[in-house]
């Protein structure tokens, strides 16, 4: 998730007067960060979890106001009748928020303005080619087929070239789920995380009939050509978000050979039925068109969305609390991988470290 997370601890480690000066965080060393309380509360605006900016046409119905986006999506709006009536039938730009990534039933509108295109308006740069919108091509008779799954057709993937396929899977023939940590310096606090699903023989095949070892779901900032991700800019509305699918082999090889990082899988401790349902939920949410939704380093990131997914299959009494103070202060143990892993292990939802995959030899590690 993050290459440098020191700045996130500013609000717990320095006086309020300095809380807008991110440079202060450079003074924190590893020992100081380790001494921070495990129930540290991360700062957040008084807001819901996922920020949106959308362009579309406003319509007012008996059921309330809606926006029909330029790409054909329909969202119900939390917007006063008076204000909605002012913009009915007009093309607008709204800044709004959804509760979280799996609850887009209503968008709470913070700002709405009529869209008046300007002469010479510049189109944004295209998205970087590493990530594509996952497509749900089929979901019936116990079978799911997903499109736009990144794969590789050589022993080592080319650094700036990507291969794509469709992937057919049988959720009821799932074997295991792994929560995978991808540490970044400083490794004691910073990491990306994602899910990996393994299957019985013959239950996961690509369009050519090949059987990868496993399927990976990684939730990432969706950057455009010329952009580079940073956790600081990820606190603002700088990057889109995408739920990206790839084969485990492709993701792992690219991590080891090109990024020079390592991967640490932990088995997710769920029943077989819960694992199958987790896969179904993950594929359906991966296929949601999130154009206009923003990645957020704290509230809408690689890790907290994995917890949201897990909560969908856990009984109410075992679900992870996402907010320490609802919609004001986010729970650090639901959003930062290094805290999340310990929290899940303590709750009996995650096993011990399974492997450390960091070189060509360890890439051959079998995920059962």
> Residue-wise pLDDT tens for the chain (368 aa)?
444 443 343 333 333 333 333 333 334 444 444 444 444 444 444 568 999 999 999 999 999 999 999 889 999 999 999 999 999 999 999 999 999 999 999 999 999 999 988 777 777 889 999 999 999 999 999 999 999 999 999 989 999 899 999 999 999 999 999 999 999 876 767 789 999 999 999 999 999 999 999 999 999 999 898 888 777 778 888 899 999 999 999 999 999 999 999 999 999 999 999 999 999 999 999 999 999 999 998 899 999 999 999 999 999 999 999 988 777 778 888 988 889 999 999 999 999 999 999 999 999 999 99
SS3 assignment, position 200? coil
- Per the CB < 8 A criterion, the answer to whether 169 and 215 are in contact is yes
What are the start-end ranges of the E strands in the chain? 41-42, 50-61, 64-69, 74-78, 91-98, 107-114, 135-140, 143-151, 163-169, 174-183, 191-199, 204-206, 214-222, 240-247, 264-267, 323-325, 329-331
- Per the CB < 8 A criterion, the answer to whether 7 and 22 are in contact is yes
Q: What is the pLDDT of residue 46?
A: 52
Determine how many CB atoms are found less than 10 A away from the CB of residue 235. 19
Question: In whole angstroms, what is the distance from residue 368 CA to residue 364 CA?
Answer: 12
Determine how many CB atoms are found less than 10 A away from the CB of residue 183. 18
Q: What is the pLDDT of residue 237?
A: 87
Q: What is the pLDDT of residue 29?
A: 44
Q: What is the pLDDT of residue 47?
A: 66
Instruction: Record the pTM.
Output: 0.85
Which residues share a beta bridge with 51? Answer: 97
Q: What is the pLDDT of residue 77?
A: 97
Q: How far is CA 167 from the centre of its chain?
A: 20
**Integer distance in angstroms from the first to the last C-alpha of the chain?**
25
């Amino acid at each position: 998730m993050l290459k440098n997370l020191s700045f996130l601890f500013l609000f717990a480690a320095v006086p309020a007067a300095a809380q807008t000066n991110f440079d202060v965080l450079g003074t924190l060393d590893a020992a100081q960060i380790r001494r921070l309380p495990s129930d540290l509360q991360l700062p957040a605006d008084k807001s819901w979890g996922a920020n949106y900016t959308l362009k579309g046409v406003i319509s007012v119905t008996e059921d309330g106001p809606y926006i029909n986006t330029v790409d054909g999506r329909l969202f119900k709006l939390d917007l006063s009748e008076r204000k909605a009536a002012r913009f009915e039938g007009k093309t607008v730009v709204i800044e709004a928020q959804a509760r979280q990534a799996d609850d887009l039933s209503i968008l709470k509108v913070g700002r709405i303005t009529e869209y008046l295109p300007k002469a010479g308006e510049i189109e944004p740069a295209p998205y970087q080619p590493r990530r594509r919108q996952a497509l749900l091509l089929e979901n019936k008779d116990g079978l799911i087929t997903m499109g736009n799954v990144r794969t590789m057709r050589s022993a080592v993937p080319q650094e700036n070239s990507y291969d794509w396929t469709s992937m057919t899977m049988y959720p009821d023939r799932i074997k295991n789920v792994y929560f995978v940590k991808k540490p970044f310096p400083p490794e004691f606090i910073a990491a990306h995380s994602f899910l990996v699903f393994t299957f019985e023989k013959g239950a996961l095949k690509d369009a050519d009939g090949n059987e990868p070892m496993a399927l990976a779901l990684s939730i990432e900032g969706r950057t455009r050509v010329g952009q580079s991700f940073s956790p600081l800019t990820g606190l603002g509305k700088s990057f889109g978000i995408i739920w990206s699918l790839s084969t485990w082999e492709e993701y792992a090889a690219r991590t080891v050979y090109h990024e020079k990082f390592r991967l640490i899988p932990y088995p997710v401790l769920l029943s077989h039925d819960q694992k199958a349902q987790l896969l179904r939920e993950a594929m359906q949410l991966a296929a949601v068109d999130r154009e206009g939704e923003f990645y957020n380093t704290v509230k809408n990131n690689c890790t907290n969305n994995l917890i949201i997914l897990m909560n969908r299959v856990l009984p109410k009494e075992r679900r992870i609390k996402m907010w320490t103070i609802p919609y004001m202060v986010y729970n650090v143990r639901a959003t930062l991988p290094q805290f999340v892993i310990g929290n899940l292990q303590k709750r009996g939802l995650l096993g011990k470290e399974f492997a450390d995959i960091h070189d060509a030899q360890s890439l051959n590690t079998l995920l059962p």
